[in-house]
Chains A and B, each alone.
Chain A
Amino acid sequence: MLRAPAETKYADELDYLESIDTGPKPFTWRLSPRMVRIFVLGSERSDGLDREIAQKWFGDRSFVERSIVTLASDRGLLLIGDPGTGKSWLAELLAAAICRNSTLVVQGTAGTTEDHIKYSWNVSMVIAKGQSRQSMIPSPIMTAMEQGMIGRFEELTRSTSDVQDALISILSEKYVSIPELDDDNIVFAQPGFSIIATANSRDRGVNDLSSALKRRFNFVRIPVVTNKKSEAEIVRFRTAELLRRHQIELELPPTLLDILLQSFADLRAASDAAAGDDDRLESALSTAEQIGVLEDAILHSHFFGDRTLRAQTLAGSLVGSLARRSPEDLAILNKYWHGVVEPRGREGGDWGDFLDGGRQAISTLS
């Protein structure tokens, strides 16, 4: 499997936690809220566990706590934040910990219809046998309702308002009626059902949520990680995972990680100070973006280089990933390279190589 869902990947941890969990569990939850927190945020010595549980999501503890209690309450959870802040990852971890199934996902797009949220029909079966529960194809959300699990709705604000509003009745009445059927025509949500939706704060204004839907969700805003220490942890954690997945053995030099984190911090500061969109990189400069840059550089060094990550390669992939609009983004990167990287690069070392690599990449793209 290229990418195993969290419940498969961390099955042994979940089994272990479930075996020792004595705390009260809401509804049909597989773990108590405290154990869910430990699963997501990792264990401490003070938790008194026999084995270590790795930290999987890096961020403020209170966000996780607030998310968990929301799921234990009557309302849905809406994780909102910039792209790449780990919303979907947190949603997946929560779903995996609570109900051991994080795959009941609806991806919100402009083409998402109400059928994707409720149910659709197996047309050939309907022709053959008529409309019945057997010929009905339940949506992931409906499946979650039936089984008392957590349904996930990715990119809620990308789908149109009428589709969004279909969620209102699901979240308040907790049932879906199937008018096409004469009997057995209501699917009731079982205890433990809830929805974790994610929304991109950069999409604000595309399909704004209605007040009615907002009321049914608790919002947890996930900020971009700006703490260098946590960010380094996240990048290291995710990169190790990627390397494992690609079966690559490659050393990640700490100095290069520092360079990457520092460049993103500088570019973020520049973005915050910019007056207009043209002076700002299109990228949200999120942690996920950093991981992407690093992954790109690692793969490049592995397959086309000498299997050692070098500063030039890192610079090349940074420029390649961030330069999305031809004149604007390149101009900003060029300015950054000359204004900030150049003084550091004069002293040589990795910054010097980083400077050269970046220059070369910019000139290639220009």
Chain B
Amino acid sequence: MTVPLPAPHRPRQEGDHPVPPHPAEHAGEATPGGTFTPLRDQLAGAAAAFASGGLLPKLVDDVERAMAVELEIFPVCHHSPASALAMARRLRAKQPKVIYLELCEDLRPVLEELRNCKLPVALQAFATQLDGFPPGSGPLSVIAPITEASAEYQAISYALDTPGVELVLVDRSSDHVFQWEQARADARSGQTDVGIEIGDLRPRFAELEEHLLHHGKVRHWSEWWDQYVEQPLSGADYDTYRQVMVLIGSLFRRLRGPGGPPTDDEDRERYMWTRMREHLRDTGTDPADCLYVCGAFHAASPVMDEPYEITGRTATRWLYGLIPSSHSAIERQFGLAGGSVSIAAATWAKALRRGGVKPYRLSTKPPAATPAAPAKIKAAKAAATGGPANADMLTGFLASPPALDELDEAELLGWCVDLVRLARRNGYLASTADAIAVYETSILLAGMRNRVRPTPYDFQDAAVTCIEKDVVPGRRDVRRLCEILLGGDRFGQVGYHSLPPLAQDVFDRLEPLGLDLSKRTIHRALLDLNADPQLVPVSHLLWLLRRLLPADAARPIMGSRRLGERSHQESWDLALGRHQREIIELGYEAVTVEQVLEQRLRKSVSAPDATAARALEAVEDAILFLGGGRLAQELGARAVELLAAERTVDEAPDVLRRIRRLLAFYRSNEPALPEWCERFVTAGYAHYCTLLPTAFVADDTGLRQVAAMLGFLFTMENLALSLGCDRAQLELAVKQSHPESPAKVALLWAAQTQLGILDRQELRRRCDELLAHPLVVPTFPQYLSGFVQALDPVPSLGPFVVEVISKAFARLPDDVLLPWLPKLITTLRDQAGELLPVLIREAGRVFPGRLATLDQWTPPWHGQGTGPGAGAGSGAGLGAGPGALVGASGQGGAGSAGAHGVGGPAGAMAGVGGAMAAADGAMAGVGMAVPVPGPVNGLLAAHPATADAVAALLGAEAPASGWEQGLRGPGGGGDGTGLTIGAVNAESAGGAGAGGSPGSGAAAALVAEHPRTAEAVADLVGA
């Protein structure tokens, strides 16, 4: 869930009105007559003259009240170098013993880890296991970015590095942040992280901000702040700083209305003051030794004395850590103008150089436990100088014009020259003349905007005016170049010792690569797993990270990880430095990446929307990344449950593909199938048998789904029957199916053929009748689609499908055939792996291999009782049909066919596949009609009789002149070779085989007789 924090930069909406005075204000109001009386009188006079209401004197009251508090309040604004400078100066002067900081109190332990980090980083509180929040609202995340140019970092560094100084975080805990947001009706959603910042100081309604920007003649808030507060305050003394900040905080606080969304500012203040009172009481610290660092908005709190009962936290388990951040991320999260944080950082660095202020920086080692003597001396010295004087510094500040910076000529010149150089590097035709123009324009612009020294914003505008033309030549425009020049985006980094155990473990395990993965560049890692076996675990981890992290964190260039495969060499592009945050967030889930994956897999299969296909995917992942074992068994068992409970067959193709792959894997790697696999097959057999009749008639069940169901039923049949299923169930299911759409009818006919209910002749007769019927002809392509889909469940139908397609090409009128062709091509493209090998093999077998033989060639189905008229037309039509198809599907197919020396219709038909496969890059049966060089030739030539016998048994025709001649032939012999390999391939790769293909028993006998040959063949064809 995402609950926003109280208004970081959320201007109020229209309709907001200034608040009526708080009831408590009258009671707690500072009495007139103090230091600020003259100013109050002056402002009251002004208020009486120009406005109604007593807002102005109340601002002075607020300042006076804040100044009068015994506990010294240090008001800050975020990303304000002036605040940071004032803080550094004040800490050195006062040396407080306790610092109270407006930051979630539960983040305190993480602060120590800042020592190991390169800023900007963000403190993060993260919760996924929720208790006490509405379900589904997680993960909850609170992010508090810390930059170096901030007062809070100065305070933290001072407190952590000075012995004897205590740092107390007093704001509500992360848990309370969400509790309070829950309680508020206007909780926004859709945000992933809640950002919190110390010193959020911005007008609380849109009109006020608009008004200030308009009259300040600036474009955005950061610029206003810089010009009207930051610059005048950068050299101011502490009292002026404090009073002005409280005044501005008070102004924004009072200019807000009851019409807007409720905020919890006052509750937060009560919370913080309660915590501080508790601490003072418990430790007995003198408030004079303390410093309370809070946003200027909270400095002038009217509720600081009110008691508050702090409620307990929920039982939600919060995890804490540091994540890297960047200037641009902070700007995005808090709605600041682009580049403003970078500009603040640059201003801070410059102020340090100029002002001679020594900032506090966290050392990498914690200080010794005992307080150091010099600190005592300094503290004593500070005590001598006393606290803030509380004199009225406001009147002078408000009455006199701000002391603006003088023109820093050298700095501006440097910017201009550097920018032109940068612009040239980025493709702009910029020259020294442009540098001069930018310089001049910056000064003119600043002059128009009432300042002597051009601000970075003026400089940016001037640069855009002078250098930006009508087009941006490169990736970055001038505005972006200025941002880069003025500091650019800075990325923080969390040091190794502050990383969670998981992240440390990941970097430790990747150590053998010898790369510095903490850098933000992309590293190329080369792993020769054969030569260097110790890299095998590294490769394993990389694959795991690939699975868990965003795609570009670890990207394999070479190598793959699939079931039953192993890479010899791998090459990776690693950008783990850029994805440090994601790795750290993995650390919130578990202690090792393996554990993270295990938990995620378990969660994915137990989710309410889990499906059998997803569970099978989880099993695959468990085998690939976690070695299978008991987890795979559990996930598999869950897959069985999910399958049995499913009422749709939408994912049947996915289920079929995955279970086939898993069965093949287990068969080749395990002595026996796991028990869940057997149960999955039997459950699937019964499940799909039950759903088959409905799926055949349901309109919302696609052809592919039904084909996949049939594929499951037929290809798993042997296994299912051996496990006790009953074939009668399938036969009944097929009998109960009465599809209406032509494509499904064709599929049903194919199923009936497979089951022996329908013989081939009858099927042929039905198709011929359809073709001969002028009223049905327009729907014939749909039948063809059904038959094409049937190639997967009923591969033995291959010759028939080729025959039907050939007939269709020959006899269908163009206006029916041509609109269907794109569909055929796209179907074959999508399912190239399953359908193409069968189709191409059969086409290669049926059509002549050489152009010369085409004249004498008659289709084998001629004279098989289809009638003389049909036969006479088919030859000519066949020539035209596939040719047209090749023409339609591009030159690739024809080209490849020609290159392989296969001409004629067969080549054209192969060309169809070639075109399809070339488009897909996944040509499964390239070798079909091509002589295969290498050991296969040698083997077949050495055992011609065996090869003949295998070919005969598998239904392929051996060349009449024998294998040797076929192999040595100039190209025609490829036909036979390819066929045999294709057949063997199909038989072995098909897993359960083509169920019931004739002669499989004899083949088994032959293989048993020649085991070594069979093994050699199997090895060569990659079975």
The answer, yes or no, to whether A201 is at the interface (CB within 8 Å) is: yes
B445 and A80: CB pair below 8 A?
no
A34 CB contact (under 8 Å) in B215, B448, B461, B469: B448
Q: Which residues of B sit under 8 angstroms from A215, Cβ to Cβ?
A: 429, 431, 433-434
A335 within 8 A of B: no
A65 with B437, Cβ < 8 A, contacts A211-B429, A218-B466 known: no
The answer on a CB contact under 8 Å between B447 and A75 is no
With beta carbons under 8 angstroms apart, the residue of A61, A75, A204 that contacts B437 is: A75
CA distance A51 to B429 in the complex (A): 46
> Does A219 contact B468, Cβ atoms closer than 8 Å?
yes
Contact A69:B468 (CB < 8 A) given known A46-B215, A215-B429:
no
B534 close to chain A: CB less than 8 A: no
Q: Is B236 an interface residue (CB 8 A)?
A: no
Inter-chain contacts of B214 with A (CB < 8 A): 44
Whether a CB of chain A sits under 8 angstroms from the CB of B441 is yes
Contact with B along A269-307 (1 / 0, CB 8 A): 000000000000000000000000000000000000000
Contact of B219 among A33, A62, A68 (CB under 8 A): A62
Q: Is the CB of A70 within 8 A of B448?
A: no
0/1 per residue, B456-487, Cβ < 8 Å to A?
00000110111011100000000000000000
Q: Are B461 and A44 in contact (CB under 8 A)?
A: no
Report A238 CB to chain B, min CB distance, Å. 22
Question: Are A219 and B470 neighbours in the complex by a CB distance under 8 Å?
Answer: yes
A75–B434 Cα distance when bound, in Å, is 10
* Residue numbers in B under 8 Å from A221 (CB-CB): 468, 470
A218 adjacent to B445 (CB under 8 Å): no
Distance of A137 Cα from B344 Cα, bound (Å): 57
Decide if A69 touches B470 in the complex (CB within 8 Å). no
Task: Determine the chain A residues whose CB is within 8 A of the CB of B441 once the complex forms.
Answer: 66, 69-70, 73, 218
Is A267 located at the chain interface by the 8 A CB criterion?
no
Instruction: List chain A residues, Cβ under 8 A from B437.
Output: 73-75, 218
Contact partner of B448 (CB less than 8 A), chosen from A68, A75, A201, A219, is A68
Q: Which residue of B lies closest to A45 (CB)?
A: B215
Task: Give the complex CA separation of A69 and B441 in angstroms.
Answer: 6
Residues of A within 8 A of B465 (CB): 66, 69-70, 218-220
A70 / chain B contacts, CB cutoff of 8 Å = 441, 465
Q: Is A37 an interface residue (CB 8 A)?
A: yes
Residue of A with least CB distance to B217:
A61
Q: Which residues of A contact B634 (CB under 8 A)?
A: none
- Interface members, chain A 52-82 (any B CB < 8 Å): 60-62, 65-66, 68-70, 72-75, 80
A214 at the interface (CB under 8 A from B): yes
Inter-subunit contact A66/B445 (CB<8 Å): yes
CA distance A75 to B445 in the complex (A): 15
Q: Are B445 and A69 in contact (CB under 8 A)?
A: yes
Q: Give the residue name and chain of the B residue nearest to A219 (CB).
A: B469
Q: What's the Cα separation between A194 and B925 when bound, in Å?
A: 74
Contact: A33 with B448, CB < 8 Å? Answer: yes
- In the assembled complex, how far is the CB of residue A352 from the closest CB belonging to chain B, in whole angstroms? 28
Q: Which of A69, A74, A75, A221 has the most CB of B within 10 A?
A: A69
Main SS class of interface, B = helix
Q: Enumerate chain B residues within 8 angstroms of A69, measured Cβ to Cβ.
A: 441, 444-445, 448, 462, 465
- Give the residue name and chain of the A residue nearest to B429 (CB): A211
Is B449 part of the binding interface, using a Cβ–Cβ cutoff of 8 Å? yes
State A150–B468 Cα separation when bound (angstroms): 23
Contact residues in B for A33 (Cβ distance below 8 Å): 444, 447-448
Nearest CB to that of A64 among chain B residues?
B448
Q: How far is the CA of A209 from the CA of B433 in the complex (A)?
A: 19
Is B440 interfacial (CB-CB < 8 Å)?
Answer: yes
Interface residues of A in 116-130 (CB under 8 A from B): none
Complex contact A80–B429 (CB within 8 A): no
**What residues of A have a CB within 8 angstroms of the CB of B444 in the complex?**
33, 69, 72-73
CB contacts (< 8 Å) of A214 on chain B: these are 429, 469-470
Q: How many residues of A contact B (CB 8 A)?
A: 29
CA distance A74 to B215 in the complex (A): 30
Interface 1/0 per residue, A200-224 and B, CB below 8 Å: 0100100001010011001111000
Q: Are B448 and A37 in touch, CB under 8 angstroms?
A: yes
* Residues 178 to 233 of chain A near chain B (Cβ within 8 Å): 199, 201, 204, 209, 211, 214-215, 218-221
Nearest chain A residue, comparing its CB with the CB of B464:
A66
CB distance from A325 to the nearest CB of B (A): 27
- CB neighbours (8 Å) of A75 from chain B are 437, 466
Assembly CA distance A61 to B434 (angstroms): 23
Q: Which residue of B lies closest to A67 (CB)?
A: B465
Return chain A residues, CB-CB under 8 Å to B469.
Answer: 214, 219
Query: Taking each of B434, B445, B448, B466, which has the highest tally of chain A beta carbons within 10 Å of its own beta carbon?
Result: B448
Smallest beta-carbon distance A363→chain B, Å:
35
Contact in complex: B461, A62 (CB < 8 Å): yes
Contacts of B449 in A (CB 8 A): 65
Who on chain A is nearest to B216 by CB?
Answer: A46
Bound-complex Cα distance A53 to B800 (A): 89
Annotate B197-230 by CB proximity to A: 1 below 8 A, 0 otherwise: 0000000000000000011010100000000000
What's the Cα separation between A61 and B447 when bound, in Å?
Answer: 15
Q: Is the pair A73, B440 in contact by a Cβ cutoff of 8 Å? A: yes
Find chain A residues with CB under 8 A from B431 CB: 215
Cβ-closest chain A residue relative to B450: A34
Contact flags B500-522 to A (C-beta < 8 A → 1, else 0): 00000000000000000000000
Q: In the complex, which residue of chain B has the Cβ closest to the Cβ of A36?
A: B448
**CB closest residue in chain A, given B431:** A215
Closest to B433 in A: A215
Q: How far is the CB of A76 from chain B (nearest CB, A)?
A: 12
Give Cα A285 to B217, complex, Å.
29
Bound: A65/B448 CA distance, A: 7
Q: A69-B465, A75-B466 are in contact. Are A44 and B215 (CB under 8 A)?
A: yes
B461 & A66 in contact (Cβ 8 Å cutoff):
yes
Shortest distance between the CB of B867 and any CB in chain A (Å): 52
Cα A139 to Cα B434 with chains together (Å)? 30
In angstroms, Cα B217 to Cα A33, docked, is 14
Tell me the complex Cα distance, A221–B470, Å: 8
In the complex, A199 Cα to B469 Cα: how many Å? 12
What residues of chain B lie closer than 8 Å to A37, measured between beta carbons? 448
Q: In the complex, what distance in Å separates the CA atom of A204 from the CA atom of B461?
A: 24
Interface bits B427-439 vs A (CB < 8 Å: 1, else 0):
0010101100100
Q: How far is it, in angstroms, between the C-alpha of A92 and the C-alpha of B429 when the chains are bound?
A: 30
Bound CA–CA A114/B215 (angstroms): 46
Known A65-B461, A70-B441, A72-B444: A204·B429 in contact at CB below 8 Å: no
Q: Which residues of B contact A80 (CB under 8 A)?
A: 470
> Which chain A positions have C-beta within 8 A of B447?
33
Chain B residues with CB under 8 A of A62? 219, 461
Chain B, Cβ-Cβ closest to A70: B465
Neighbouring A residues of B219 by C-beta, 8 Å? 60-62
Of residues 140 through 191 on chain A, the ones whose CB sits less than 8 Å from some CB of chain B are none
Distance of A69 from chain B, by nearest CB (Å): 4
Cα-based distance from A218 to B445 in the complex (angstroms): 14
Which B residues lie within 8 Å of A61 (CB)? 217, 219
A215 to B423 Cα, complex, angstroms? 14
- A74 to B465, alpha carbons, bound, how many Å? 13
A70 to B438, CA, bound (A): 10
- Kindly provide the distance from the CB of B761 to the nearest chain A CB, expressed in whole angstroms: 53
Shortest Cβ distance from residue B895 to the other chain A in the assembled complex, whole angstroms: 33
6 A-B pairs (CB sep. < 8 Å): A61-B219, A65-B445, A66-B462, A69-B441, A73-B441, A215-B431
Q: Which 9 A-B pairs have the closest CB atoms?
A: A69-B444, A66-B465, A218-B465, A214-B469, A219-B469, A46-B215, A33-B448, A69-B445, A69-B441
Interface residues of A, Cβ cutoff 8 Å to B:
33-34, 37, 44, 46, 60-62, 65-66, 68-70, 72-75, 80, 199, 201, 204, 209, 211, 214-215, 218-221
Residues on B facing A (Cβ under 8 Å): 214-215, 217, 219, 429, 431, 433-434, 437, 440-441, 444-445, 447-449, 461-462, 464-466, 468-470
Given contacts A33-B447, A62-B461, A214-B470, 10 further A-B contacts (CB under 8 A): A34-B448, A37-B448, A60-B219, A65-B448, A69-B441, A199-B470, A211-B429, A214-B469, A215-B429, A221-B468
